[in-house]
A and B are shown apart, each in its own frame.
Chain A
Amino acid sequence: MHELSIATAIVETVLQEMQRRQLPAVSAVGVRVGALSGVVPDALEFSFQAIINGTPLAGARLAIEQVPLQGKCRNCGLDFSVQEFIFACPDCHSGQIEITRGEELEIAYLEVSS
């Protein structure tokens, strides 16, 4: 389980952003977690809540947007949603698939109460 490492990276980045933008408090941290990011959302949330106590982020929510896998066929150009991690074009059956969405592991936004 490496979600603790990932949560730590999120917290460190957010604390830097808070300092840079001079935000006294943050009510939520919005993150995108792709289906193929290798990160389990529940474990990430658990880890995040476990490490924010005693930091300026205490009490913040982790708002996770789960991004489904989307692919584009290099052979026929079809855009399609990748089901069950099967990387094959539903039209021409080519296996040459470029992943267009679903590998994200990003901090999208901070929510502040004004």
Chain B
Amino acid sequence: MTEKIAVEKKVLSENDKLAAEVRSQLMRHGVVALNLVSSPGSGKTSLLERTLAELNQELRLGLIAGDVQTENDADRLKRAGGRLVQPIVTGGLCHLDAKMITRVLPQFDLAQLDLLFIENVGNLVCPSSYDLGEDMKVVLISTTEGDDKPLKYPAMFRRAKVMVINKIDLLGTSDFDLERAKANARRINADLEIFEVSCRTGAGLRAWFDWLRGLVHGPARAVPPTMGA
């Protein structure tokens, strides 16, 4: 004879609880937090370098740079003028989780911060499962990848609010079709806000910067994302 005992518990409830704590701390201080996700090499660090160069005097930016190994990205961001850069080396783990954010958050004086960028580990699969307490996920792809990326990683593109297509200066040198990439992304997520940029030439970045300014100065803060059902 076997008996079933109902449990009904989210597997990641512990993570979600910590993420909710992070979120309420950030909200209390009016800090907007963006969780940047992409494959390795799409240009997350380059986008942040450009963003620092443009907005570092104007907004108070904090950066958390997650990497499997090395603090290279964090070092790049410091060289780009980042005053508040906190590396997280996961030591092989393929994603950041809320506990890691909880550990490094005390390094920041949240009262002195407008915008917190969390650069996740380069991976379009695993980070999609973990709420870090961010306002929204921003997913990057680049024109040197396949334009079917959104179809291959639907969970991530569905959970993101914003997509940045980087390396548009290289359009035409590969088979990447910009319109097809956008259509693929909108099939998964009709509400995605899309930016087309080149971190190398600076093309299209003005719209991205203005959008960030709007996030910080705008009256309506982003609605916290809902994770899972």
**CB pair B4 A37 closer than 8 Å:** no
Residues of chain A in range 71-91 having any CB-CB distance to chain B below 8 Å:
85-88
A interface: dominant SS = mixed
**CB pair A10 B11 closer than 8 Å:** yes
Partner of B5 from A21, A37, A95, A99 at Cβ < 8 Å: A21
Candidate in A87, A100, A104 with the most chain B CB atoms within 10 angstroms: A87
**CB pair B8 A6 closer than 8 Å:** no
Cα A64 to Cα B191 with chains together (Å)? 32
Total residues of chain A contacting the partner, CB 8 A: 45
Question: For the complex, is A31 an interface residue (Cβ under 8 Å from B)?
Answer: yes
> Given A27-B2, A114-B2, A114-B3, do A105 and B151 touch, yes or no (CB 8 Å)?
no
| Chain A residues within an 8 Å CB radius of B97 | 5
**CB pair B158 A111 closer than 8 Å:** no
**CB pair A13 B158 closer than 8 Å:** no
Partner of B3 from A2, A13, A31, A112 at Cβ < 8 Å: A112
Partner of A108 from B7, B94, B95 at Cβ < 8 Å: B7
| Chain A residues within an 8 Å CB radius of B126 | 1-2, 5, 38
Cα A39 to Cα B4 with chains together (Å)? 24
| Chain A residues within an 8 Å CB radius of B151 | 85
Residues of chain B in range 121-172 having any CB-CB distance to chain A below 8 Å:
125-126, 128-130, 151, 154-156, 158
Residues of chain B in range 1-58 having any CB-CB distance to chain A below 8 Å:
1-15
Partner of B94 from A1, A10, A113 at Cβ < 8 Å: A1
Cα A109 to Cα B18 with chains together (Å)? 24
Residues of A bordering B, CB below 8 Å: 1-2, 5-6, 9-10, 12-14, 17, 21, 23, 27-28, 30-31, 34, 36-39, 85-88, 94-97, 99-114
